[in-house]
Amino acid sequence: MLIDMHVHTSRYSACGKSTPDEMVAQAELVGLNALVFTEHHVIWPQDELLELQARHPRIKLFTGIEIETQEGEDLLVYEAAENSRFYRRMPAREAAQAAHACGGFVTLAHPFRYRPTIAPGFEQFIDGVEVLSIHILNYGRDLAQEYADAHTIIPLAASDAHNVQALGLYAIEIAQGVAVMAELITALRQRRYSLYSDQERIRNSNNLACQEYPEVLHRIELGEDDGAIASQMPSFTGHMVSSVRNHLDYQHPLR
């Protein structure tokens, strides 16, 4: 069972570019079996999730939430209740306590995306950490895995897709199917899964970025800011432009 654990849509995430129906339809095209919607500070209402599920019975749908913490890191919480107390900029300790109180699983999303270190002691709040994501570049992949190994944290892969193009580039694969979130969380805690990457699509994306690299470098030399450059370069995000500016690897890991 191939599951993308970190997905945004235009319905509940302001940065989402594709509708829920578009994302679920694309999931089937790229070979996924399940999606976890992790909108920013919004948990999908159960009735809406069931309506979407009814329209797309081949793709199993789950919901969680992505939270920006007071410490500046983003957390993914799985098994969050609709009436949860999660809110923007809440302390990580408080978020973890609320999640674990309802049997939830807490993952550090895209580590090292915003800064080169993770706050000391942050590892005590989390169960898992993303080591593969569209917002983790080659150098970040190594840092994230080292962080997971050093603190015995469960490593995960997920796309963090905000549009259909990125959906399913990274995911986890579980040998047996899961029907409810509690079963999925158990599989994670028992490490009964493997990390998945769609290497052909990632390689194609990296090749396109290589073609755009000279223009990105030229625009940096002209003094343009990262956001302005990324808006003109289809294969580049602001994070990738920043990596070029700081002489870091700007490509995505294949595995």
Q: What confidence score (pLDDT) does residue 80 get?
A: 73
| Mean pLDDT (the chain, rounded) | 95
* 170 within domain boundaries: yes
* Predicted structure pTM score: 0.95
105-120: pLDDT as tens digits: 999 999 999 888 998 8
Q: Are residues 181 and 165 in the same domain?
A: yes
- The whole-number pLDDT of residue 82 equals 64
Q: Structurally, how many domains does the chain consist of? A: 2
Q: What is the pLDDT of residues 162-211, one digit of tens each?
A: 999 999 999 999 998 999 999 999 999 999 999 999 999 999 999 999 99
* Residues 36 and 127 both lie in one domain: yes
115 and 236 part of one domain: no
Check whether 18 has a pLDDT greater than 90: yes
DSSP per residue, the chain: -EEEEEE--TTT-TT--S-HHHHHHHHHHTT--EEEE--BT-PPPHHHHHHHHHH-TTSEEEEEEEEEBTTS-EEEEES--TT----TTB-HHHHHHHHHHTT-EEEE-STTSSSSS--TTGGGG-SEEEEE-TT--HHHHHHHHHHHHHHTPEEEE---BSSTTTTTSEEEE-SS---SHHHHHHHHHTT--EEEE-HHHHHHHHHHHHHHHHHHHHHHHTT--HHHHHHH-TT--HHHHHHHHTT---SPP--
Same domain, 166 and 224: no
Residue 83 confidence (pLDDT) above 80:
no
Do 121 and 214 belong together in one domain?
Answer: no
Digit-coded pLDDT (tens) for 181-190: 999 999 999 9
Statement to judge: residues 151 and 217 lie in one domain: no
Q: Are residues 180 and 216 both part of a single domain?
A: no
Q: Which domain holds residue 186?
A: 2-197
